[in-house]
Structure 1
Amino acid sequence: MNNLLLELKTIADQARHEDASFDSIRVRLKEVLHYFVLDCIYNSEFKDMIFYGGTCLRIVHNLGRMSEDLDF
């Protein structure tokens, strides 16, 4: 968990240094959280859950869209 917090802080600091917009920073942080949650699910007893929806299309199929949630 500490690694996650450190990674989130690093991304936010870097984005602020780049003078990124608030929305851009929010999207970057959300992306890291999506990957963290997916990793937790994959490495648990729930690894057989079916991942679908907009975020699945973006992550698995590299579709250029942003989705707010993870659908299972």
Structure 2
Amino acid sequence: MSGPVDQAARIVELEARLESAADSIIAAMNTSNIIGNAAILGRQDQNSQEEKDKHQENSESPSKSLTVYT
């Protein structure tokens, strides 16, 4: 049987490992959030550009009108 000092040392070691693992998980979650936010912003930029292009196409095309003579 291991003595109390060995058990305490083992507990300290496990606590350090647990804290390190928690830090790694938090870092991975932060990275995932950053990537997700960048993807959302990129999509918003793309949508905005598509809207600008659509408005530009509409303003560049000659207006079409229908004239009815009676």
- TM-score computed with the length of structure 1 as normaliser: 0.34
Higher relative contact order (Cα pairs below 8 Å, separated by 6+ residues): 1
| Larger helix fraction of residues | 2
- TM-score computed with the length of structure 2 as normaliser: 0.35
